[in-house]
Amino acid sequence: MYSEKVMEHFMNPRNVGEIENADGIGEVGNAKCGDIMKMYLKIEDGVIVDVKFKTFGCGSAIATSSIATEMIKGKTVEEAVKLTNRAVVEALDGLPSQKIHCSVLAEQAVKAALYDYAQKNNITIEGLENYKPSDDIHDHHEH
């Protein structure tokens, strides 16, 4: 059901953990729906120098969080904003259709953390102008 890439990230997730005094923290999803992602960013001079995550969820929720952290590490915040769920799915060599929402959640977790960073520093990030925290509400029930 899952690609080897998904299983590899699930069994050996990258960047698990927390960052103390993180510059941006994003949490999306809810326990009722069965998945929560929490992302921590360390940002220096507009570049994501470190990223960690914690996820409560199924195999693909853990794998999408893991690969998303890999995809934004070392990137500028403007580049990270552009991370799409589609890119996450492609990087994992695909996801079963009922698991696409996990990739959406990963994208939203990154955006939520960046938004938190922008709020704390009173700046706007290009591409995140229209983002509202409420956007990260789990999309399960609209499917």
Partner 1 sequence: MDKKIYLDYSATTPMKKEVLDEMLPYFSEKFGNASSIHSFGREAKAALDSSRDKIAKAIGADSKEIFFTGSGSEADNWAIKGVAFANRDKGNHIITSKIEHHAVLHVCQYLEKHGFEVTYLDVDEYGMVDLDQLKESITDKTILITIMFVNNEIGTIQPIKEIADIAKKNNVYFHTDAVQALGNVPINVKDLEVDLMNFSSHKIYGPKGVGGIYIRKGVKIDPFIHGGAQERKRRAGTENIAGIVGFAKATELAVENLDSHIKHVKALRDKLIKGVLDNIDHVRLNGHPEKRHPGNVNFCFEYIEGEALLLSLDMVGIAGSSGSACTSGSLDPSHVLMAIGLPHEIAHGSLRLTIGDFTTEEDIDYVIEQLIKIVDRLRQMSPLYEKVKGGQ
What residues from 36 to 95 belong to the interface with partner 1 (CB under 8 A)? 36-38, 54-59, 61-62
Q: Of 32-40, 67-75, 83-91, 127-135, which part binds partner 1 (CB under 8 A)? A: 32-40
Strands ordered across the beta sheet of 35-44: 24-30, 35-44, 47-56
Shortest spacing between CB 4 and partner 1, in angstroms: 12
Could you say whether residue 18 binds partner 1 (CB under 8 A)?
A: yes
Q: Which is nearer to partner 1, 13 or 24 (CB)?
A: 13
Q: Judge whether 89 and 95 are in contact, CB under 8 Å.
A: yes
Q: How far is the CB of 32 from partner 1 (least distance, A)?
A: 4
Question: By CB under 8 A, is residue 137 in contact with partner 1?
Answer: no
Report the C-alpha gap between 48 and 63 in whole angstroms.
20
Contact 92, 5 (CB under 8 A): yes
Distant-in-sequence, close-in-space partners of 71: CB < 8 Å, separation ≥ 6: 83, 87, 88, 91
Which residues are designated catalytic? 33, 102
